[in-house]
Structure 1
Amino acid sequence: MPAPFVATLCGYRDGKPNTSDGSKIDSIELGHLFFEKIGVSEAQKVGKIDHAWSHAMVADLTEKLTPTAPHLVVGREQAAHAFEQYAHLGALRTLAKDETPDVDNALERLRLHMSTASANNDLSGLVDALSSALDQSKSHRRPLLDALGDESLPKLDISVHRDLDPAPQLGHPHLVAGMSLKWSLRTDRLQDPRTHGAKMAALRRGRMPHFSAVTMEPRPYFLARLGQGTGDLDCVYHLHLPALTAAVDDYYTGLKSRVRIRDTFHRMIDQRRLRDYDDLVSYLKTL
């Protein structure tokens, strides 16, 4: 089943479907046919949909998961280090925070107090020794911090987590799934989800979350380039796979080269590399 909110995000810009590459005839033609299958009128205009999409998806997933998986929490724009498997990525940022101004201020207040109190040479010497030791510590600590690697991950467009501890404030929640949202695909957009997935696999401590891309791209060529990767993504979810399947079957006919494109598209579905939005909901309920 398609995502229930998808039709409200579809529309036309300058007479072209907002899923299409405006410079590619095949993308525009397939986009028109795709929208026809969905039931999107050419009179339906639309602007930017990024924030509307992520908010609608969080609301829909939350509504669908609450009855059977109330332990799951769906969020948007979450940093990876907010979760258990990647909490260590935020450790360097915390360690590098310069706390020495607070110490310097405390020493200055102590010196000021000593200057107004009765003289105490022994105490004054201890303060000077402490100040010197702190200066030496800073001179050694800063180069070491600068030399450390600063690994990081982009924010997750959509995250699904559960709390391992009954008191969540005592620890980090466990990330069970993350999604990269790409309404349409271009050559420069293909690499983002795959790079994100590869870094999540390499930098995790613990179980790898289910990581996938979610898209509305109609062209089988780009879906294949994203989905037939090397394991960086578990799969690609499509927001309206039934309508896209019907459009692809109608559009890619005749020439053998076009039939091969259609066959590749169906092979991706058969291999579960390309899945329906409803499959995402069903799978999340098992986590």
Structure 2
Amino acid sequence: MTDWFQQQGPVFQALLAGGFTWALTAMGAGVVFGLTSVNRKLFDAMLGFAGGVMLAASYWSLLAPSIEAASEQGWPSWLPAAVGFLFGGAFLYGMDRSLPHLHRGLPTQSAEGPKTAWQRSVLLIAAITLHNIPEGLAVGVAFGSAAAGIESAPLSGATALAIGIGLQNIPEGIAVAVPLRGEGMSRTKAWMIGQASAIVEPIAAVIGAAIVVYAAPVLPFALSFAAGAMVYVVVEELIPETHQKGNEDLATLFLMLGFAVMMVLDVSLG
């Protein structure tokens, strides 16, 4: 970690980290210029890995610092973690119900949320955007908590979280763009959709960092809120998607691998 990065404010750090996670999504989606299909087993393994990273980050980078921050602020240590976690899931549930979107690999008529005349590509972007908002928030509140001086959430830990989210964004970019190309979409349009939804990550990261920097009392709630939102995405979207074609065991093994990779990153760097 360079001295220059350490000297920047937490909001700007979050912006840079969110830009990094978006760039890795775009890099993964760039594979579409060379491939027209992804083996379904590889697809499910990649999604399982992404889910494992998100689950590990939810505890090591978010819930544990939330509990510590609550104790420092005089709350019962469990209260903000539990409340924020549940509200994070409820927020994603509400977004899931109110925003038209379409999960990958499903026909257009299977779109969720209110009925709409949106095109298939727009519905896909909406679904992936819902997925990426919690990741951006998680990165932002991690950098905000590092600025607050929480012992279990140092700057190196926030950086580890950004690296972990970025790593799992590479296969996500592939998993979005290549199937679209396989459906006949042009390479450029498939890449644009593959990377477009991740643009929300630096925006959400800045919002998350600003909230905890300028409203310090909400810090433990913001950390656990991001954790609850990420767990909701994993359980509602990623795990069911990996179980559609009989690859449950493979996806589970890669979920555990992703969890281990994120845990090692957080503990070793944090």
RCO higher in structure (CA 8 A, sep ≥6): 2
Q: TM-score surpassing 0.5? A: no
TM-score (norm 2): 0.29
More helix per residue = 2
TM-score (norm 1): 0.28
More strand per residue = 1
